[in-house]
Structure formats: C-alpha cells, structure tokens
Structure 1
C-alpha cells in the first residue's frame, strides 16, 4: 500500500558544513524564499541538520521563520543523561536544548566512524526514551547492489532496530533510504529503482509494525531540484534527505516545493 497520505519531509543534512557566517546567510536566504513562496507544513515538513556547534544558533534563527522548520541533530551519543563522556552529547541534552529530531545510522557514521548495529540500537533506545523523533538511515553499497543483495541489506538494517523500538514508539521513526553509491557522487537511483526499494521497505515495515503505512520513507542520494519532481511523484517516496543541494537555499526550497505541490 502506498504511503501517499503521509505528509512528506524534506530535511537538509549540512554534514560538516559550512562556516558560521555562511550558515547564518543560508538560513536567511531560505527564510526569504519561504516568504516569497510558502511551503505549508500541511503540505511538507522541513528540517535542517547543521553541525553540532551550530544547533542552537540555527534553531534560534529558524524559530522566527514564516513556517515551522525543525532543527535536526546529525548524531547523538549512545550514552544517556549526563556524565564523564568527553565529546558526547546525549539525547537528554539535545531535548533540554529544544532539539527534538536526530539523524541516526547515516552511512558515513556507519562506514567512517564505526557505528555498528549495537551502537545504533543504543542510540535509538536512548533517543526514543527522550521522546525524540529519529530519521533512521539505511542503504546499500554499489557492490551490494550489483551482487543482488540490495533489498536484503536494507531490510536487515530495518530489522536491526525492530527489537529496540517499542510498539508505541514507531510514530517517532522516519526512514531515510540512501543508496551509498549515490551519496555525493552525482549519481541518483532512477525514480523507478527508488520507488521499488521504498515499496520493499514499506512491505518490511508492515511486517514489523501496524504503523508501517504511516511511516515516512525519505529518499537521499544526490537529490537536487532537477530530479525532485520525478522523485516526489513516486507513491512511496515521502520526502528527501538532501545533502549538497541543501547548502544552496534556492535549490533546497525548490525541492521542498516539489514535494509540497505533489502532496496537494
């Protein structure tokens, strides 16, 4: 069944970018675009995931935007509360600072920083206990896709968290499918390929939780204004996790518009 009744999300993952002055200008430019052409939160939710040291300054800027824009943490500690954990920021500290959304499981965290299923499960457990909404990232490598393992890998990543998420917590989960081979490469899964994987993810979610048809599944991987309209037209693609294009206010606004218009 399609997730077409779901309000889409378009979330900009800024990764380790930009400098503070540029971040402030980027937010101002985005706010100006939204004044000129509104993206109603009834048609599309918008989020921005800045670097950790900019979370509060970005949140302050976003709080007076003409539409509601969520501030999203790019990561969270596998530890809870407060304590002697140098360099860590817990879910409790994020929530205490007004941050309610977090990315968990991005392929860069998995591949570069060693976030294995146990670490991810710990992060998800504590984030959900703090009542955060999680954007959980899944995706396969080019080698896995070419060997015919793509669906198996992605569905396993969904199953990895099934034992951690309680029945009443699935409404706090958003899935982001990002084929690793398409992240920052300029390559994008075709709309048909993306829709096929999203439908499989939807099928897998429905086997795990009655909430399966109400969970947003975002597409990520070189999403840009030029391909957003086609992606938005796919039944099970409920938004986008946007990397490089989110560092350009015009492009990011156009992507949000594409999903908002499709949802009307």
Structure 2
C-alpha cells in the first residue's frame, strides 16, 4: 500500500560529529537557509540528531528557527528512570529535557556495541513508556543481500520489536531502512531496490498493526542531494535518515526540499 499521503521526515544523524563551534555554525546556516527558502512544516518534518552533549544547545538554537526542527537523541539507555548508572541517559531524562525523539537500532549500535534484540527492546519499551517517538533502524548486510536474505532479515527486525510495542504505541514509531552496505560507503540502493524493500516493510507493518499504512518509512544509506529527488519520488519512501550529507547545511536543505516537493 502506498505511503504517499504520509508527511515525510528528513532527519540528520550527525553521529560523533562535529565539535561544538561547528555544530552551532551548522545550525545557524541551516536556519538561514530555511528563512531564505522556506520548507513548509506541513510538507516535511525536520529533525537533527546531535551528540548527547550538544542536545540542549542545539535544541535551544533551533527554538528561533522559522519552523519546527526537532532535536533527536542518537541513543537512550536500556535502564529506565533514575539511579546509579554511570554514563547512562534514560528516556525519562530525555523527556525531562524536552527531547521527544530517539534513534534505536542503528547498525552501528548493533554491530560496534553488540546491541542485541533484548537490549534494543528494552530501549524501545522505555522510550515509548516515557512518551518518546522512536526512529527504529533496520537493514541488511551486503552478505545477507547477496545470499537472498535481505527481506527476511529486515522483516525479522521489524517483528523483533512487536513483543514490546503496545497496540497504540505503533503510531509513535518511525521506521528507517538503512542497508548496512550503503552506510558511509557512498553506495546507495537503487530507487527501485529501495522502493521494493520499503513496500515489503509496509506490507509487514500492516500485518502487525492497523497503523501500518500510515507509518513513515525512511530511507538511509548515503542519501545525497544527487539521489534525493529519485528516492523521494518512490511511493513508499517517506523521507530520509541522512548521515554525512547532514553535516553540510546546504546539502541537508536540498534533501529536505526534495522530499517536501513530493507533497
């Protein structure tokens, strides 16, 4: 089922970048571009995911933007509430700081930090219970794609979270499909391949929840201004989770324009 009626999301995942002064400059440049070339909030949701220590300062800077630009946490603790957990930031602490969105399940967290289903489900459960919106990342490796397992792997990752998501909470989840082999490599799934996977994800979500037809499914993996228009034209691609290109204000703005122009 087509998701063309869904308002797209464009979210910049800054990862472990940049230093504070450059982050402030990046936000300032993006705000200026939004003033000069408006992107209607009704046509595209916008968000940026800075490092944890910059969440507050970036959010404060974005308060004076001409339109809403949400601040997104890159991670959340699997531990709920408060307590003696050195280095952790709980969902409740994010919510207390007016951070309403969080990434969970990014391949870098799964692979580098060995976050398994149990850890990811605890994070999702805590985030949803605290009232956060979860951007849940799924994707297959090159080996899995070449062996014909891509759809099976991605759909299993969707099914993995069903055990901890209550019926009404599905409306607070955004899916981000990121083929692992396309993250930071310069490689991108063709629009046809990306659309095919997004349609399969849509089919799987519709079997899990009545919200499936309305859920946003974003594409990530070397999204750039050069490929954004083609990706945005695909009916089941409802936005982008942008990596490296989001560290350039002009590139990020162009990508957002591409998705806004589909509405």
- SS of residue matched to 2:127: helix
Q: What SS class does the counterpart of residue 262 from structure 1 fall into?
A: coil
What residue in structure 2 maps to residue 174 of structure 1?
Answer: 174
- 1:83-232 pair list within 5 angstroms: 83-232=83-232
Q: Secondary structure at the match of 2:262?
A: helix
How many residue pairs were aligned? Answer: 263
* Equivalent-residue separation in structure 2 for 1:59 and 1:20 (angstroms): 13
- Secondary structure of 2:187's aligned partner: coil
User: What SS does the corresponding residue of 2:76 show, helix, strand or coil?
Assistant: coil
5+ residue gaps, structure 2, are none
CA deviations over 1:207-243 (Å, ceiling 9, x no partner): 0000001100000000000000000000000000000
Please give the per-residue CA displacement for 1:55-95, whole angstroms capped at 9, x wherever unaligned.
00000001110010000000000001100001000000000
Distance 1:67 1:166 in 2: 32
Q: Structure 2 CA distance, aligned partners of 1:159 and 1:64?
A: 39
The secondary structure found in structure 1 opposite 2:252 is helix
| Structure 2: distance between partners of 1:4 and 1:197 | 15
1:138 Cα deviation after fit: 0.1
Query: Could you tell me how far apart the structure 2 residues matched to 1:115 and 1:46 are?
Result: 27
- Find the counterpart in structure 1 of residue 19 from structure 2: 19
Whole-angstrom distance in 1 between the partners of 2:39 and 2:185:
28
Distance in 1 (CA, whole Å) between partners of 2:21 and 2:170 is: 37
Give a deviation string over 1:122-156, Cα, whole Å, max 9, x none.
00000000010000000000000000000000000
State the 1:163 CA deviation.
1.1
Alignment correspondent of 1:252: 252
Which blocks of at least 5 consecutive residues in structure 1 are unaligned?
none
SS where residue 174 of structure 2 aligns?
strand
Local SS of the residue matching 2:261: helix
In structure 2, how many angstroms separate the alpha carbons of the residues matched to 1:39 and 1:204? Answer: 31
Shift in Å, 1:40: 1.0
Q: Secondary structure at the match of 1:136?
A: strand
TM-score with structure 2 length normalisation?
1.00
Cα distance between partner residues in 2 of 1:176 and 1:8 = 12
Deviation digits for residues 34-68 of structure 1 (CA, Å, limit 9, x no counterpart): 00011111000000000000000000001110010
**Structure 2 Cα separation of the partners of residues 3 and 118 of structure 1:** 30
The aligned residue for residue 10 of structure 1 is 10
Shift of 1:181: 0.1
Q: Distance in 1 between matches of 2:20 and 2:121?
A: 32
